[in-house]
Amino acid sequence: MAKEMTLLWGSGSPPCWRVMIVLEEKNLKGYNQKLLSFEKGEHKSSQVMEMNPRGQLPAFKHNNHVLNESYAACFYLESQYQSQGNKLIPECPAEKAMMYQRMFEANTLGQKMADVIYYNWKVPEAERHDSALKRNKEALTAEIKLWEGYMQKASGPFVAGKNFSLADVMVFPSVAYLYRFGFCEERYPKLAAYYNSLKDRSSIKTSWPPTWLESPTQDLLKDI
Q: Cα torsion for 80, 81, 83, 87, to the nearest 10°? A: -110
Percent of the chain with pLDDT over 90: 83
Q: Which residue has the higher pLDDT, 173 or 119?
A: 173
Q: For the chain, what is the mean pLDDT?
A: 94
Whole-number pLDDT of residue 138: 95
Nearest Cα to 23, choosing from 98, 88, 91? Answer: 88
Whole-number pLDDT of residue 29: 93
Whole-number pLDDT of residue 150: 97
- Domains in the chain, CATH or no CATH each: 5-80 (3.40.30.10), 93-214 (1.20.1050.10)
As a whole number, mean pLDDT of residues 71-87 equals 97
pLDDT-derived band of residue 162, with 50, 70 and 90 as boundaries?
A: very high
Per this entry, what is the length of the chain?
A: 224
Q: Give residue-wise pLDDT tens across range 9-19.
A: 999 999 999 99
* CA–CA gap between residue 134 and residue 21 (Å, rounded): 33
Residue 65 reports pLDDT greater than 90: yes
Whole-number pLDDT of residue 79: 97
Whole-number pLDDT of residue 24: 98
Q: In what order do the strands lie in the sheet with 59-62?
A: 32-36, 5-10, 59-62, 65-66
pTM (2 decimals)? Answer: 0.94
